[in-house]
Amino acid sequence: MDQQIGAAWQALAAELEHRLREDDPDARVQATVSVSGLLALDVRTIASRRSAARALAHSYEQRARVTCERCGEPVMVVGAGPVVTVLCSGCSDAG
Ligand SMILES: [Zn+2]
């Protein structure tokens, strides 16, 4: 998994993969940080599960938008720029 992704987001991706494997033991989740700084989840699963898996991945991406990438605390995305950083105040103070 991508080293640039914070621990809390990696946990979200792992949880998604675990859920997908209830239906497809070979399901894979590829987690990356999108160009805008948000969690992007690519899912690989059997064709019959693909649309459901994609919808579930989307719901996890939405959760990541309000979850501190490092510690998992709930946060609001701040900043109007094209690139955002989803960190709580504690983690952003720590650098
Ligand atoms: Zn944090």
E strands along 1-95, which residues?
28-33, 39-44
Domain hosting 76: range is 7-93
Each residue's pLDDT tens digit, 25-62: 999 999 999 988 899 999 999 999 999 999 999 999 99
Using the mean position of ligand 1's atoms as its centre, give its distance from the Cα of residue 25 in Å.
Answer: 32
Using the mean position of ligand 1's atoms as its centre, give its distance from the Cα of residue 23 in Å.
Answer: 32
Residue 2: per-residue pLDDT? 44
CB neighbourhood size of 69 (10 A): 24
Residue 67: per-residue pLDDT? 94
Smallest Cα–Cα separation from 57: which of 34, 80, 89? 34
Using the mean position of ligand 1's atoms as its centre, give its distance from the Cα of residue 16 in Å.
Answer: 21
Residues with Cβ within 8 Å of 32's Cβ and at least 6 positions away in sequence, in order, are 2, 5, 39, 40, 42
Using the mean position of ligand 1's atoms as its centre, give its distance from the Cα of residue 92 in Å.
Answer: 7
Q: Which residue has the higher pLDDT, 15 or 78?
A: 15
Using the mean position of ligand 1's atoms as its centre, give its distance from the Cα of residue 15 in Å.
Answer: 19
Look at the chain and report how many structural domains it folds into: 1
Instruction: Check: pTM over 0.85? Answer yes or no.
Output: yes
In a domain, 1, yes or no: no
Q: Using only C-alpha atoms, what is the Rg of the chain?
A: 14
